[in-house]
Amino acid sequence: MTNKMIHINYSPQHDDLVNLFMKDNREKYIICNEQLRDLVVNIDMENKEETINKIIELILIILKNKNLKEYIWSNYRNLNDEEKDKVYLEAKYLLDKKEPFIINTIYNKLVEIIDTGESLNIDGFFRFRMRDFMVYISIISDIALEEYLIKRDKNQFINTLKYFIESQDSKIDLLIIHIMEDGNFKFYDQNRIEIKDNNTEKMISMIIKEDLNYEDFLISTLINLCPKKIEIIDDLRDEISEEIIENIKIIFENNVKVTFKQ
């Protein structure tokens, strides 16, 4: 049996997840003192893959729970801590989706280090061998920030719309919204009679003239009619109709019933 010692220079005393990882794996994979410093990975070359996978696990913990957080907290200073947390969760989700690619890249770099017998300095590993990933973190974080701001603005709009509708007198007891397969909408009252009034026709003309989408038309109709209850017939059944339905549910809560085309 051939063993190889790989020295890991890293001081994770303030990283709870890293500490937990070290304690769970120190006897089999990692040699270190009680302060979790002066780390050494004991690699059984006959089981090299298993140990490399553990090192990858450690690096991913540091990447997601330290480097990503540090970037967001250092660069988005105009956000408060709660907003930074939301951006971080969004960025972490995006990073998780790319994990197979990240793991493969880390694996190749680790094999190169182990085969050449070099020491593994975690900080140096990120600074030099993972330099592209540090740029990647900034890109993912910026995308996450944009997604967060879009969701925040949308939620503010929906909450404002909800408050407005709740403050108005209802003009119709039941509004039936039929989402057609082509993405258009039709509206019916409780007697299944299609609603076509002057205001609706004006809205349609405005949407065509201003090149707006039909979701804008739907929102305008809800504002105009302020129904007590809504029934949605969804023939489209895709991500767009699902999002529209969820938004309507946020506004009207338990007063929404959804049915689907058989």
In a domain, 53, yes or no: yes
Residues 256 and 246: their CA atoms lie apart, in Å, by 10
**Domain final residue, candidates 127, 160, 193:** 160
- Contact between 57 and 93 under an 8 Å Cβ cutoff? The reply is no
Based on the fold, state whether residues 64 and 136 are members of the same structural domain.
Answer: yes
**Domain final residue, candidates 115, 133, 160:** 160
Based on the fold, state whether residues 173 and 251 are members of the same structural domain.
Answer: yes
Angle at CA of residue 211, ends 206 and 213, nearest 5°: 90
Residue 238 has pLDDT above 80, yes or no: yes
Residue pointed to by tokens 């489209």: 236
Based on the fold, state whether residues 188 and 149 are members of the same structural domain.
Answer: no
In a domain, 64, yes or no: yes
Using CB atoms within 10 Å of the CB of residue 8, give its burial: 0 to 12 exposed, 13 to 18 middle, 19+ buried.
buried
Q: Tens digits of per-residue pLDDT, 178-231?
A: 888 877 788 898 898 988 755 555 555 554 455 555 666 777 778 888 888 999
- Pairing mode, strands 30-31 and 39-44: antiparallel
CA-wise closest residue to 178 among 230, 260, 233: 233
In a domain, 1, yes or no: no
In a domain, 66, yes or no: yes
- Pairing mode, strands 227-234 and 172-179: parallel
pLDDT of residue 36: 41
In a domain, 185, yes or no: yes
Based on the fold, state whether residues 68 and 117 are members of the same structural domain.
Answer: yes
Based on the fold, state whether residues 110 and 135 are members of the same structural domain.
Answer: yes
Residues 97 and 91: their CA atoms lie apart, in Å, by 10
Task: Give the number of domains in the chain.
Answer: 2
Task: Report in angstroms the alpha-carbon separations of 2 from 18, 32, 46, 110, 176.
Answer: 28, 20, 7, 18, 73
**Domain final residue, candidates 160, 180, 212:** 160
Q: What backbone phi and psi angles, to 5 degrees, belong to 40?
A: -135, 130
Based on the fold, state whether residues 150 and 120 are members of the same structural domain.
Answer: yes
pLDDT of residue 117: 65
Residue pointed to by tokens 């209850």: 229
Residues 43 and 18: their CA atoms lie apart, in Å, by 19
**For the whole model, what pTM was predicted?**
0.64
Full domain range(s) for residue 194? 168-260
Q: Tens digits of per-residue pLDDT, 108-164?
A: 888 887 777 666 666 677 778 888 887 889 999 999 999 999 989 888 888 888 888
In a domain, 203, yes or no: yes
Based on the fold, state whether residues 177 and 100 are members of the same structural domain.
Answer: no
Based on the fold, state whether residues 53 and 155 are members of the same structural domain.
Answer: yes
In a domain, 146, yes or no: yes
Q: Tens digits of per-residue pLDDT, 6-62?
A: 444 444 444 565 666 655 655 555 544 444 444 455 555 666 777 778 778 878 888
pLDDT of residue 80: 94
pLDDT of residue 86: 94
Structure tokens at 115: 């085969």
Q: Tens digits of per-residue pLDDT, 156-191?
A: 888 888 888 778 887 888 999 888 887 778 889 889
In a domain, 7, yes or no: no
